[in-house]
Amino acid sequence: MDKQEKIVSMFDEIAPTYDRANRVMSMGVDRSWRKKGCDKAFGFYDKPRLDLIVDVACGTGDMMDYWRQRAATKSVTVDKILGVDPSEGMVGVGREKFPEFDFAISKATEIPLEDASADMLSISYGIRNVVEREAALAEFNRVLKPGGMVVILEFMKNDRPSLLGKVRDTYMTKILPKIGGYISKNKEAYEYLPNSIEGFLTVEGMRSELEAAGFEPLFIQSFSMDISTLMIAKKV
């Protein structure tokens, strides 16, 4: 089993308890981050009707629901929202929660869409789990229309953490694995999270990879002691 398959298998195992663990660990703070990502993207794109929004590494579908909610508040009509994820366990939960949405079992590097077919593409706390990241970014570019938006929410590595950043790191490495492990009965999966952040990119590194993949970064902001970073970029 290769690294990507191991990650997918891990998510299959924690799928039944994933939503409950996330709600406890994030204390609901991620809701504001997700809303801001949607709102900012709609503002940059500024079109009243969209053919397709695709959420990659969609998990149990929460970001898809935020796209729907925020589109309604902005009076934006979205013809279709598609969730893509390689974990059958996570998508199974998503289909039960949101039977009205479309889902596809697929890797981020093999999105089952035609070229230039999506208006927006989001990936929330998932790009860190994609082993072939540069190939995935090229795939995002392929499926987006010219001028289309990619929205990334992620836990980025911080090489020079502030005092608050050190508090964040303590929470992520010492407390979060215990909470997630207790709820899911899979401590190893939640030890993976801080380890994967440490091995991930800084904000500047992610910006460089987006630019290399043919995107123009439009908005970058970190939230809540730099726990989470929002990046929005346009296909050029």
The string of DSSP codes covering 133-144 is HHHHHHHHHHHE
Strands across the sheet containing 102-105: 102-105, 77-85, 49-56, 118-124, 144-154, 228-235, 215-223
- Cα(226)–Cα(14) distance, integer angstroms: 26
Q: What is the mean pLDDT of residues 145-166?
A: 84
Q: What is the mean pLDDT of residues 164-192?
A: 75
Per-residue confidence (pLDDT) for residue 196, from 0 to 100: 78
Half-sphere exposure in the Cβ direction for 193 (13 Å, CA): 26
Q: Give the residue from 25, 26, 90, 88 showing the smallest Cα distance to 64.
A: 90
236 touches 150 (CB < 8 A): no
Q: What is the mean pLDDT of residues 55-77?
A: 96
What CATH number is attached to the domain comprising 180? 3.40.50.150
pTM of the predicted structure, to 2 decimals = 0.89
pLDDT value at 22 more than 80: no
Determine how β-strand 228-235 pairs with β-strand 144-154: antiparallel
Q: What is the mean pLDDT of residues 209-234?
A: 91
Per-residue confidence (pLDDT) for residue 132, from 0 to 100: 95
SS3 call for 229: strand
Between 166 and 216, where is the model more confident? 216
pLDDT value at 141 more than 90: yes
**Counting beta carbons within 10 angstroms of the beta carbon of residue 124, is it exposed (0 to 12), middle (13 to 18) or buried (19 or more)?**
buried
C-alpha distances in Å from residue 57, one per residue of 47, 73, 179, 185, 225:
25, 25, 23, 23, 25
Between 232 and 195, where is the model more confident? 232
Q: Could you tell me which residues come within 8 angstroms of residue 187 by beta carbon, excluding any fewer than 6 positions away?
A: 177, 178, 180, 181
Per-residue confidence (pLDDT) for residue 68, from 0 to 100: 97
Per-residue confidence (pLDDT) for residue 213, from 0 to 100: 98
Per-residue confidence (pLDDT) for residue 12, from 0 to 100: 86
DSSP assignment letter at 201: -
pLDDT value at 70 more than 80: yes
148 touches 120 (CB < 8 A): yes
Tally of domains in the chain? 1
Between 215 and 23, where is the model more confident? 215
Mean model confidence pLDDT for the chain: 89
156 touches 206 (CB < 8 A): yes
Half-sphere exposure in the Cβ direction for 203 (13 Å, CA): 17
**Domain span holding position 100:** 3-235
Per-residue confidence (pLDDT) for residue 10, from 0 to 100: 86
Residue pLDDT, tens place only, 106-122: 999 999 999 999 999 99
